[in-house]
Structure 1
Amino acid sequence: MTNPRADRVKAVRALASRSVRRRTGTFLVEGPQAVREAVAPGSPRVHDVYVTVDAAARYPEIVAAARDVGARVRNGTPDVLDAMSADAQGVVAVVDQVGAGLDDVLTRRPRLVAVLAHVRDPGNAGTVLRAADAAGADAVVLTASSVDVHNPKTVRSTAGSLFHLPVVPGPELPDAVGALRSAGLTVLAAAGSGEHDLDDLLDVVGAAPAGVPDLSRPTAWVFGNEAWGLRDEDLALADATVRVPLRGRAESLNLATAATVCLYASGRAHR
């Protein structure tokens, strides 16, 4: 492929639009790290992989894996790949959208779930998903009011973790919390004004007194909007609210950092 203005190039670039993604049921995966994970066994169906000659020589394992999963591998000039995506780094893929049902996730008896409520920033959402993967979470839930997980910036921010664990898109927060609690998970809301200190909870893992959350139990963490956190009605849905201690003079932590700390605390407690 040599023409950056070709219809196929325009069709790939158009996947940056949510309406196009919704209509086609596919999304764009950009860059070698994310595409490498997309073509791994067990990932969603990969339709096409576009790669420059130089990138194909640099990442032969990606090309081989793409062919192994039945994807069409097409060579394009650097101008073509740049026209498809400014973040291509010589490799992009068109992949079926991901998405699991909450009921299906709960049948697997998850021990750690991250719930994103009203999270609108795609970079934050993707970073939390990546942190959840690293901390050993079993699933991530993005409520109806949160960003589309297939947003290109969200996908890039996951660095391939999007393909490692189930992602449940679209439930309303009360419905998600109710289902998680019914499945035996303790629902904890992360909030700067939380009634429990995270460090104190780590001190009593496995022996928490009555009324104090035990992080060794299966847990669903609820994280709120970047700017205003969780609303009062959202906090009221949780079994308890938890704050991350601030030892220095920082006014607060950003969403992704706070989520990472909370998820790793649960991951440690579960060990």
Structure 2
Amino acid sequence: MLPYEAPLADFDPRRGACCTVENFTIEILGTLRSKWNISATKVFAHDFVAHYPSFNINSVQAAFSTHLRSLKHSFKQAGLDNVTSSARQKEHWRKERKCLLYHRRLDIAHAVSDLQPHITMLMRIGPDGMSSDKTANENNVPQYRILGRHWRSLEVTAWLRIFDAMYCHNRWGPVGTGSQGNNARMRFETMSMGQPQRAVRRLPRNAYRTEWYDSLNHYDWEELDRCEAEVYAFTHVPGIQL
């Protein structure tokens, strides 16, 4: 199995193991001594010795590292590394589009006086709080299906759409004449969620999806640094009627 991009990028061995026995994964394109693979080797070895106590844990780790090297070689020989590299490139482009979306919203917030009071909150949410998207073709026309953030509230989504609406309004003007440059990508609604990613920390309580927020455990609270007492009027932008 391959680990998802987000857990792989966010993995910190100081917070615990990379995976469990139940969801065991290796980083097939990583080095044998990558942080993820070192942690996965320990997970495997400890579980193996728990079932077969007569084995030495260091010997098991060495044997698993040899096996992992063999797996990586087979993976490359089958040409699957190129397929996976292509998938990672698509993920990189998706992150780039998310970053561009953030800066577009930030630019329109600076340009529209009624949105300027929201600049600080938009910056707190940052690029990581933007919705991702995935590409699809409809009659040879590229479309971008929105992938929501699993932790982000619907109020934040509606609030962010105000920035997009103002961008389109300012771009086309009252008589429908566009300005120079490429048009904004057409992004279409979908019920799909992106792969679970680390939530943006220290946002107002109503920035988080209620069911997700209520399901957090003690360790999640420490990671999130919750701000339960703070709320923000995400959907209310004085002076702007949509």
TM-score (norm 1): 0.26
Q: Which has the larger radius of gyration?
A: 2
Instruction: Decide which structure has greater strand share.
Output: 1
Higher RCO (Cα < 8 Å, 6 or more apart): 1
Instruction: Decide which structure has greater helix share.
Output: 2
